[in-house]
Amino acid sequence: MKVLYALSIATGVLETLFFGGVVFGWPSMQYVLTREGYFSEFCDNTSSSTSSNNASDNAFRTCTEVESSFNLIFQISVFMFNISTFPMGYIQDKFGSWASRTIACLFNTIGYVLLSVMDAQSSWILYPAMIMISIAGIHFLIINTQLGNLSTPFRSVFVTLINVMFSESVITFLLLKIAYDRGARVQTFFYVMIGVSLLSWVRTFMLMPKTSIPFPLPDKSFKFGIYDLIALHKKSKTEPVENPTVFVNNIALSELKVEDKIKEKVPATKEIQEPQNQQTSVKKSFKDCVCSKLYWSNFAFYALGYIQFLFFLGTVITWLKNIGHADNEISFLTEVFGYILLGVCIVGPLNGTVADAVRKYYRGKIDDERLITLRGLLAQVIITSTLRILLAITTLAGQVYASMVLVTVFRGFLFGTAFNFIAQAFPPKHFGKLIGLTQALIGVFILLQYALFKIAADYSNGFLGVNVALLVTAVAGLFHPILVYRMAYPACCTSERE
């Protein structure tokens, strides 16, 4: 079983690295496709043009309409990336990993097939291709996260690792840009990605469970993947059908005598999962969580920060042009930015370390576990808010390298802080629903990013106005750490307890 577990985990990490968050490597993709002349038909004869990347006679043209088209594709892809978590999550819970992974693999393979057959004359294909790849990517992350259940002592380490690999997925389009700059054809790169995507199909039925991996494992020899295939083959040859297995509070139970076993198992499980110092939090209903000030404060904090991150990512090339960089400088800076984004692998663990250090400091000084948790979260929120304000200032000042470094660090803290806040501040039994709701709402909310781009691109001082507005919202975002502080230090403030 150890070999099966190791192969499942190793291939899951690689799959998430190359397919998980590729949409966030959009600046590299946009650079290459702009050089190839995608959407150039939108430019009139007076639009400025530059020589192609390979210094051939085939020139390309770019203009505001071209940049707007690329930004719209990025925006729609991120929107579907977020909004699809609800229906795909339902499929995962209802029908299991094989069903949800089949859909994700299908989207992923078709997406790269579409990218491989498109050219500058069929630029519209980029819309469905990127939407499919984005939807597939987020669900590879969600489904692969359960592999951490295979190793209880290192469960948290694996979950952190898989999320870091998701952030590192910018490497996929960065490799495309590097290969393109060295003379490779765009279509050749996507042919390779089609071949690699087929390995995900193999993983689905050989190295992933038909349903899900419970936590804790029913026993140390828990079998899945190829063993599920063998079991299905044997079942088809025999008339008796084994009683299906259901899970109650992550404990495997036969549907036979389910009522009796639930009575025996559930109380014991609750004692393990719901410590006495968390009883107040655990008793909260899903409605209580959604109606709380903390949830909506965290959502607003996350949403506004997410918009700022996406605006920078989706307009970095346009921004570089706006502050006066030439095309050869933009090529260099885009590649540098791709490398800098890879540094999020350092930031992710650092974010969690800060919260753990604060909790460790207070654990021996106060007895209330909830206050200890909130104080750890407060440290993360304060650092994230500070990074957001600094990013807005450096972007407004036109400081390219500082902005690129800060957006990478900010990204690592923003996502880690927002998700960890939901995981720690609310009962674990509501985590999946709260994350799904948050991502679905975020998907709608971030449509504002496209409006910001249109303002920045269509008006002479548009970028200045948008960046000033982002700085103002970054400062206004301090409402969240203030609220968390009032709840984490009730003795210092008069506040309404959650």
- Exposed (0-12), middle (13-18) or buried (19+): which is 144, by Cβ within 10 Å? buried
The neighbour count for residue 394, using CB atoms within 10 Å, is 19
CA distance 45 to 67: 16
Give SS3 for 465.
Answer: helix
Most confident of 79-83, 251-255, 365-369: 79-83
Same domain flag for 277 and 344: no
pLDDT of residue 136: 94
Most confident of 17-26, 136-145, 227-236, 445-454: 17-26
Same domain flag for 79 and 209: yes
Q: State the residue for tokens 């972007």.
A: 395
Q: Tens of pLDDT along 206-249?
A: 888 887 777 666 766 677 767 666 776 666 556 554 444 444 43
CA distance 70 to 78: 12
Same domain flag for 274 and 300: no
pLDDT of residue 44: 62
Residue-averaged pLDDT of the chain? 79
pLDDT band at 281 (very low <50, low <70, confident <90, very high): very low
Task: Report yes or no on 220 lying in a domain.
Answer: no
Beta partners for residue 246, in sequence order: 253
Task: Report yes or no on 24 lying in a domain.
Answer: yes
Could you tell me which of 225, 221, 189 has the C-alpha nearest to residue 209? 225
Is residue 475 scored above 90 in pLDDT? yes
CA distance 210 to 206: 10
Is residue 250 scored above 50 in pLDDT? no
Rg of the chain's alpha carbons, rounded to an integer? 24
CA distance 175 to 28: 9
Same domain flag for 257 and 301: no
Task: Report yes or no on 197 lying in a domain.
Answer: yes
pLDDT of residue 14: 92
Instruction: Please give the share of the chain, as a percent, with pLDDT higher than 90.
Output: 28
- The single-letter DSSP state of residue 251 is E
pLDDT of residue 47: 46
- Exposed (0-12), middle (13-18) or buried (19+): which is 260, by Cβ within 10 Å? exposed
Mean pLDDT of 42-68: 57
Is residue 403 scored above 90 in pLDDT? yes
pLDDT of residue 255: 41
Beta partners for residue 23, in sequence order: none
Task: Report yes or no on 133 lying in a domain.
Answer: yes
Domain count along the chain: 3
For 360-389, b/e burial (b = at least 16 CB within 10 A) is eebeeeeeebbbbbbbbbbbbbbbbbebbb
Task: Report yes or no on 221 lying in a domain.
Answer: no
Q: Phi and psi dihedrals of 50, rounded to 5?
A: -135, 165
pLDDT band at 73 (very low <50, low <70, confident <90, very high): very high
Task: Report yes or no on 17 lying in a domain.
Answer: yes
Same domain flag for 489 and 371: yes
Q: What is the pTM of this model?
A: 0.70
Angle, nearest 10°, between helix axes 431-445 and 85-95? 150
Q: Which two tokens stand for residue 416?
A: 């880690």
pLDDT band at 110 (very low <50, low <70, confident <90, very high): very high
Give SS3 for 84.
Answer: coil
CATH of the domain at 62: 1.20.1250.20
Which domain-ending residue is among 185, 215, 245? 215
- Exposed (0-12), middle (13-18) or buried (19+): which is 324, by Cβ within 10 Å? exposed
Could you tell me which of 381, 405, 380 has the C-alpha nearest to residue 312? 405
Same domain flag for 173 and 294: no
Same domain flag for 295 and 408: yes
Same domain flag for 116 and 207: yes
Task: Report yes or no on 277 lying in a domain.
Answer: yes
DSSP string, 197-232: HHHHHHHHHHTS-SS---SS-SSTT---THHHHHHH
Helix (H) / strand (E) containing 246: strand 245-248
Mean pLDDT of 386-395: 95
Same domain flag for 256 and 166: no
Cβ–Cβ under 8 Å, residues 21 and 135: no
DSSP string, 26-65: HHHHHHHHHHTTTTGGGS-TTS-EE--TT-SS--EE--HH
Which domain-ending residue is among 164, 181, 215? 215
Q: Which two tokens stand for residue 269?
A: 């499980």
Which domain-ending residue is among 215, 238, 254? 215
pLDDT of residue 130: 96
Q: Domain residues for 433? A: 288-498
Mean pLDDT lowest among 125-139, 186-200, 255-269, 319-333:
255-269
Diameter over CA atoms, the chain: 78
Is residue 115 scored above 70 in pLDDT? yes
Task: Report yes or no on 418 lying in a domain.
Answer: yes
Pick the residue with more confidence: 228 or 185? 185
Is residue 50 scored above 70 in pLDDT? no
CA distance 147 to 360: 28
Same domain flag for 127 and 192: yes
Same domain flag for 211 and 180: yes
Most confident of 221-235, 267-281, 332-346, 439-453: 332-346
Cβ–Cβ under 8 Å, residues 172 and 129: no
Same domain flag for 140 and 232: no
Beta partners for residue 247, in sequence order: 252
